[in-house]
């Protein structure tokens, strides 16, 4: 049984768009203005080395697939070798090695993935996918690396779902140039009625 781990670079106003550049966003690469220090780098490396698989939305997948195969090092080697799952209704021929396309209802496909893939299934970026996973109570842990900057616009981590979600703070630390790392676990309420039908798809 796997766990869905969402890990994000996020601004103080909740923006997660283009933290590493490469997208048509006026603040693309905004995380590069800050040094996350040796502790921050170690956190991301340990996270990647302990991951069993990647789960990505199409846009994030295509960005990663264009950037990572040519890179070298411990981080890149693990990224490139591990199983990768991309949620998409349009992608037919994934170019990154060891990749599988998940089509159909997102909640159903990810629930099945959790049952057949052991270990931590890590989601990077993928705003629409993350929102769908949160709405359908499929996220087991949320890791936020919060940078001390307000971007004033862009794709945000949390959509306006109308649903309240309670989280438990599992750990916190501050690294580098005031970059805060928070790890949260969703607080799941006991089911009192039949589970509702899964909510909207996030494939593209």
Q: Which of 89, 104, 2, 101 is nearest to 56 (CA)?
A: 101
Cα separation of 192 and 186, whole Å?
18
Q: What pLDDT band is residue 189 in, cutting at 50, 70 and 90? A: confident
Give the mean pLDDT of 70-87: 97
Measure the CA–CA gap between 43 and 66, rounded to whole angstroms: 24
- Average pLDDT (23-33) is 89
If you ran DSSP here, which 8-state letter would residue 73 be given?
Answer: S
Nearest to 155 by CA among 192, 127, 117: 127
**Average pLDDT of the chain to the nearest whole number:** 92
Give mean pLDDT, residues 50-60: 97
What ranges in the chain are assigned the alpha helix state H?
37-49, 58-67, 74-81, 106-116, 127-135
The alpha carbon of 175 is separated from its chain's Cα centroid by a whole number of angstroms, namely 20
Nearest to 154 by CA among 17, 7, 10, 9: 17
The fourth-level CATH superfamily of domain 2-186 is: Dihydrofolate Reductase, subunit A (3.40.430.10)
pLDDT tens figures, 95-114: 999 999 999 999 999 999 99
Name which of 7-11, 20-24, 130-134 the model is least confident about: 20-24
């Amino acid at each position: 049984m796997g766990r869905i781990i969402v890990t994000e670079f996020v601004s103080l106003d909740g923006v997660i768009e283009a933290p590493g550049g490469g997208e048509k966003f006026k603040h693309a690469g905004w995380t590069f203005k800050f040094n996350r220090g040796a502790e921050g780098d170690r956190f991301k490396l340990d996270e990647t080395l302990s991951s069993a698989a990647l789960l990505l939305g199409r846009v994030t997948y295509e960005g990663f697939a264009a950037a990572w195969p040519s890179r070298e090092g411990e981080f890149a080697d693990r990224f490139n070798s591990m199983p990768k799952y991309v949620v998409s209704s349009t992608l037919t021929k994934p170019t990154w090695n060891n990749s599988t396309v998940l089509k159909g209802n997102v909640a159903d496909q990810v629930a099945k993935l959790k049952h057949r893939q052991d270990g931590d299934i890590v989601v990077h970026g993928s705003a629409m996918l993350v929102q769908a996973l949160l709405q359908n109570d499929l996220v087991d842990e949320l890791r936020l690396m919060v940078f001390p900057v307000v971007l004033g616009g862009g794709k945000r981590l949390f959509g306006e779902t109308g649903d309240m979600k309670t989280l438990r703070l599992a750990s916190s630390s501050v690294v580098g140039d005031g970059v805060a790392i928070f790890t949260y676990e969703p607080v799941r309420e006991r089911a009192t009625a039949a589970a509702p039908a899964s909510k909207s798809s996030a494939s593209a």
